[in-house]
């Protein structure tokens, strides 16, 4: 799966799954715009990309702000001459039971996941439509399929990303722009390290493969959906969960 000469933009790429996707892209020849709220961590990932031998450019972005999202895509045009691949990966959790969840917690999560995915897709597809080629991978979650206690906001947003993926896939198919989603299961990152050990063990017991996923497990699926090997796939949702909730 060679991405030589391709330009990828990855959101939330300063750590966790987004960082791994960026480094895996770089190992396969792509130049990467590393977008994150945290510029320091984005710059660190960009340096790691350069060490691999590809080009990396760090851009501070808040994907939930229109100008900021547009600036991220523009950075790919300005620094690398275009955009071939977009990964909407930036994410947050603001967990609370339904009866305790504040309007703010609900809106914050929808803003980053849904509005952020919308804004970045909108900005990127201006260029992809003109070029008549592009790959978009939206990071949903298995919580968007099965729900999760304390995550009405997050599960709703992640299910929403599936709907957005399919609608965009239908609109963009005639421009040879593929839009697919990945639903990770329980992956070892800061997001899941915040889960209490008892809950963590319960979750692992639900995984047929009997192990927590690694960010690289997700990066491999994302690479496939970004490569020519998935050219006839659009509007798909790949579950990468070790078999959990199949």
Rounded-to-integer distance, Cα 15 and Cα 24, Å? 13
Nearer to ligand NAP, 14 or 156 (CB): 14
Query: CB of 144: closest distance to ligand NAP in angstroms?
Result: 9
Nearer to ligand NAP, 85 or 139 (CB): 139
- Bridge partners of 88, per DSSP, are 138
**Which residues, at least 6 apart from 186, have a Cβ–Cβ distance to it below 8 Å?**
192, 203, 204, 207, 212, 213, 241, 242, 244
Q: Which of 79, 21, 86, 69 has its CA nearest to residue 49?
A: 21
Query: CB of 36: closest distance to ligand NAP in angstroms?
Result: 5
Specify burial of residue 180 (Cβ count, 10 A radius: 0-12, 13-18, 19+).
buried
Query: CB of 14: closest distance to ligand NAP in angstroms?
Result: 4
Ramachandran region, residue 123 (left: φ > 0; alpha: ψ -120 to 50; beta: rest)? alpha
Place of tokens 């493969």: 209
Query: CB of 225: closest distance to ligand NAP in angstroms?
Result: 14
Nearer to ligand NAP, 37 or 58 (CB): 37
Nearer to ligand NAP, 175 or 191 (CB): 191
Nearer to ligand NAP, 173 or 209 (CB): 209
Query: CB of 168: closest distance to ligand NAP in angstroms?
Result: 17
CA triple 47-93-240, angle to 5 deg: 70
Query: CB of 155: closest distance to ligand NAP in angstroms?
Result: 10
**Which residues, at least 6 apart from 131, have a Cβ–Cβ distance to it below 8 Å?**
82, 84
Residue 229 known to be catalytic: no
Q: Which of 152, 155, 148 has its CA nearest to residue 195?
A: 148
| Residues lying near ligand NAP in the complex (CB under 6 A) | 11-12, 14-18, 36-38, 61-64, 89-92, 112, 116, 139, 141, 184, 186-187, 189-192
Nearer to ligand NAP, 20 or 84 (CB): 20
Catalytic residue among 25, 154, 229, 232: 154
User: Dihedral of CA 230/227/181/165: which sign?
Assistant: negative
Catalytic residues: 154
């Amino acid at each position: 799966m060679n991405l030589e000469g391709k330009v990828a933009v990855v959101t939330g790429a300063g750590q966790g799954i987004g960082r791994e996707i960026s480094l895996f892209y770089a190992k396969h020849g792509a130049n990467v715009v590393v977008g994150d709220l945290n510029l320091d961590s984005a710059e660190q990932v960009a340096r790691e990309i350069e060490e691999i031998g590809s080009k990396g450019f760090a851009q501070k972005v808040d994907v939930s702000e229109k100008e900021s999202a547009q600036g991220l895509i523009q950075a790919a045009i300005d620094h690398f001459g275009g955009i071939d691949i977009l990964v909407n990966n930036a994410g947050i959790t603001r967990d609370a039971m339904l009866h305790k969840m504040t309007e703010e917690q609900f809106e914050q999560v929808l803003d980053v996941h849904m509005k952020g995915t919308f804004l970045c897709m909108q900005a990127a597809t201006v260029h992809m439509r003109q070029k008549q080629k592009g790959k978009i991978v939206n990071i949903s979650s298995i919580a968007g399929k099965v729900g999760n206690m304390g995550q009405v906001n997050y599960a709703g947003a992640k299910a929403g990303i599936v709907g957005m993926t399919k609608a965009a896939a239908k609109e963009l198919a005639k421009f040879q722009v593929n839009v697919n989603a990945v639903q990770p299961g329980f992956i070892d990152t800061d997001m899941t390290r915040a889960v209490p050990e008892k809950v963590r063990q319960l979750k692992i017991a639900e995984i047929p493969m009997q192990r927590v996923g690694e960010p690289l497990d997700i990066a491999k699926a994302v690479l496939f959906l970004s490569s020519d090997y998935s050219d006839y796939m659009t509007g798909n949702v790949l579950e990468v969960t070790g078999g959990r909730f199949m």
